[in-house]
Amino acid sequence: MQKKTPFFSVVTATHNRCNYLGFLYKSLASQSYKKIEWIVGNDGSTDKTDKLIKSFIKEKKIKIKYIKSNVRIGKSKMDNLLFPLVSGKYQCYCGSDDYFKKNA
């Protein structure tokens, strides 16, 4: 049996953006093309980012890979941890305060 590989990987590093991540998640989950994965790195957030991302994972609307740093390590270091997790043929970066329009 062949392993299902996401066609698109969306990478997002975040720090204290709990108020914005819901918009990004909803925009990814509502895409008409469903072969995507979202790779999220929590860069030591002190807000409710961790709880929010875990709730998205439980919904199982899209595939999510999630890593969390207990301390702030910076965007560059977080990106270096996230990009090796990409399994899609194509990848893109989306800021944690941004989102995708329908049928992106």
Q: What's the rounded Cα separation, in Å, for the pair 28 and 38?
A: 8
Sequential pLDDT tens for the chain (104 residues): 456 677 999 999 999 999 999 999 999 999 999 999 999 999 999 999 999 999 999 999 999 999 999 999 999 999 999 999 999 999 999 999 999 999 98
Is the whole model's pTM more than 0.75, yes or no? yes
Q: How far is CA 51 from CA 22, 48, 56, 58, 66, in A?
A: 12, 5, 9, 11, 12
pLDDT score at 44: 98
Beta strands in 1-104 (DSSP E): 8-14, 36-43, 63-69, 90-93
pLDDT score at 3: 63
Number of separate helices (H) and strands (E) present in the chain: 3, 4
Q: Are strands 36-43 and 90-93 parallel, antiparallel or unpaired?
A: unpaired
